[in-house]
Chains A and B, each alone.
Chain A
Amino acid sequence: MSDSYPVAADLGVAGCECCGLVLAATGGAGAWRCPRCGFALYTRKPHSVQRTVAWLLAAVVLYLPANLLPVMGTNSVLGRETHTIVGGIIELWATGSRELAAIVFIASIAVPLLKIGALALLAFTAHRRSRWRQRERAALYRLVETVGHWSMLDVFVVVLLVGMVHFGVLASVEPEPGLLAFGAVVVATMLASSSFDPRLIWPHADPGRRPGAHG
Chain B
Amino acid sequence: MTMRPLRIAPPNALAVTQPASRYLVCEECDAVFPGRSVAADGVLRCRRCGATLARGHGLPLDGQLALTFAALVVFAIASVSPIVTLDLKGIRSVATLAQATLLTWDSGGHLVALLAAATAFAFPLAVIVLRLWVLVPLVLGRPVPALAPVMRALRWVLRWSMVEVFMLGVLIAVVRSAGATNVVLGPGIFAYTALTVLLTAIHAAGLQGLWRQASRP
Residues of A within 8 A of B (CB): 3, 5-11, 13-15, 17-32, 35-39, 41-50, 88, 91-92, 95, 97, 100, 103-104, 107, 127, 129, 134-135, 138-139, 141-142, 149-150, 152-168, 170-171, 174-175, 179-180, 183, 187, 190, 194, 198-199, 201-202, 204, 207
B129 within 8 A of A: no
Beta-carbon nearest neighbor of B3 in chain A: A49
A166-B31 in contact given A97-B175, A179-B112, A183-B111 (Cβ < 8 Å) = no
Known interface pairs A43-B8, A162-B107, A162-B109; 19 further A-B residue pairs with C-beta atoms within 8 A, sorted by A's residue number: A5-B48, A22-B19, A26-B8, A43-B5, A43-B7, A44-B5, A48-B5, A100-B171, A103-B172, A135-B48, A153-B169, A160-B100, A161-B173, A162-B103, A166-B93, A171-B181, A175-B104, A194-B159, A198-B29
The 10 tightest CB contacts between A and B, nearest first, are A163-B100, A15-B25, A156-B169, A175-B109, A138-B49, A160-B173, A30-B9, A28-B9, A198-B28, A164-B95
Residues of B within 8 A of A (CB): 1, 3, 5-11, 15-21, 23-32, 35, 47-51, 54, 83-84, 86, 88-89, 91, 93, 95-97, 99-101, 103-104, 107-109, 111-113, 115-116, 119-120, 148-149, 151-152, 155, 159-160, 162, 165-166, 168-173, 175-177, 179-181, 207-208, 211, 215
Total A-B pairs, Cβ < 8 A: 278
Docked CA distance A36–B141 (Å): 19
